[in-house]
Amino acid sequence: MRQYKFILSGGGTGGHIYPAIAIANELKLRFPDAEFLFVGAKDKMEMQKVPQAGYAIKGLWIAGLQRKISLQNLMFPLKLVDSLWRSRKIIKQFNPDVVIGTGGFASGPLLKTASLMGVPTVIQEQNSYPGITNKLLSDKANAICVAYENLERFFPADKMILTGNPVRQDLIDIASKRNEAIQYFDLDANKKTLLVLGGSLGARRMNQLIEKELKNILSQNVQIIWQCGKLYYEDYKKYDSANVKVVAFIERMDFVYAAADIIISRAGASSVSELCIVGKPVIFIPSPNVAEDHQTKNAKAIVDKKGAILLKEAELDSQFGLVFEALLKDQGKQNQLSENIKQLAMPEATKQIADVIVKLIKNK
């Protein structure tokens, strides 16, 4: 069997990085002798997270455009040209069989260069509303793996394959890990556990909400795992206690999901896909600060099937306390949400995406 070579690019946030790592892990299972190289944006979190997962990574000097006039925007053309040149150099040296992009700044110049050099490219789009990078790359891509239906207005219909989003395989059976998870986080097995997920960088409005509601939540015999994000950890670590575990980042997502009874989360595409597999009652608080409000669209796709509760940021002060207390007291509602969200899971997504990639390289 020949030795395949794969380049993967996805970064900026965990929502782009972890799908790329999940795809690489699946390909590695199938081709143990294959070579892998990741390409990310210098100074972004992928430069740490990818090596931690056991893969080599090279960084491009690239960043996104800011919404306001800034020096960074003036530098963008120079960074883009530099990244296109470096992408060409990387591809020439590594000579990949296929290049896979999961979104983020670096995937743009890399996949554009790959397609110009005649290297097959695969896009994996996580969201119900695609990012600008993937929309621009879609015409030249060989295949586009999507997680939502009805994306024909963004992508060529003949290139799209509905696969779902790649998720960590260790989330498939979390029920068996509950006791170990309770010990890992030093929790009380007799209390309900609320898990708060604001994303790897954190979510200011969610952190403000938990700070405001902390006393009320704890008074209902609830303990909290509060992932406040690395940007806000210094502000909120003072609340860490026996009943409040304040963390910047969670390494063992399988344990944290296993320990949770109720989850409050942003509605990034990867998080939504994971939560469908985890099957716990969820209150989604979508970020309003994303393109085309796609987090609300992601959440609504679940809420419309009665699989979760949706609270907009503007409703938090008036509604959160009532909604949380009602859910906490209603075990029947919790069970219903769990069952309904599980029905929407696509646990085979990573394998299906790998199937698409393998078919592409075998047909070269």
Confidence of residue 14 (pLDDT cuts 50, 70, 90): confident
Instruction: Convert the pLDDT of each residue in 162-213 to its tens digit.
Output: 999 998 778 888 999 999 999 999 999 999 999 999 876 678 999 999 999 9
Q: How far apart are CA 145 and CA 143, in angstroms?
A: 7
- Can you give the three-state secondary structure of 149-215, one letter per residue? CCCCCCCCHHHEEECCCCCCHHHCCCHHHHHHHHHHCCCCCCCEEEEEECCCCCCHHHHHHHHHHHH
Helix, strand, coil % in the chain, rounded to nearest 5: 50, 15, 35
Residue 98 has pLDDT above 90, yes or no: yes
Residue 313 has pLDDT above 80, yes or no: yes
Q: How far apart are CA 55 and CA 251, in angstroms?
A: 17
Percent of the chain with pLDDT over 70: 95
Residue 329 has pLDDT above 60, yes or no: yes
Phi-psi region of 208 (alpha: psi -120 to 50; beta: other; left: phi over 0): alpha
Return the closest-CA partner of residue 326 out of 178, 180, 233, 220. 220
Contact partners, residue 158, CB within 8 Å, separation at least 6:
none
Instruction: Convert the pLDDT of each residue in 348-364 to its tens digit.
Output: 999 999 999 999 998 87
Q: How many Cβ atoms sit within 10 Å of the Cβ of residue 125?
A: 30
**pLDDT confidence of residue 15:** 79
Return the closest-CA partner of residue 218 out of 133, 328, 81. 328
Mean pLDDT of 127-132: 83
Query: How many C-alpha atoms does 182 have within 13 Å on its Cβ side?
Result: 12
Mean pLDDT of 91-110: 93
Residue 260 CA, chain-centre distance (Å), reads 19
Residue 66 has pLDDT above 60, yes or no: no
Contact partners, residue 329, CB within 8 Å, separation at least 6:
none
Read off the pTM: 0.82
Instruction: Convert the pLDDT of each residue in 253-274 to its tens digit.
Output: 999 999 999 999 999 888 999 9
**pLDDT confidence of residue 128:** 83
Q: Per DSSP, what are the bridge partners of residue 38?
A: 8, 57
Mean pLDDT of 278-292: 90
Residue 82 CA, chain-centre distance (Å), reads 28
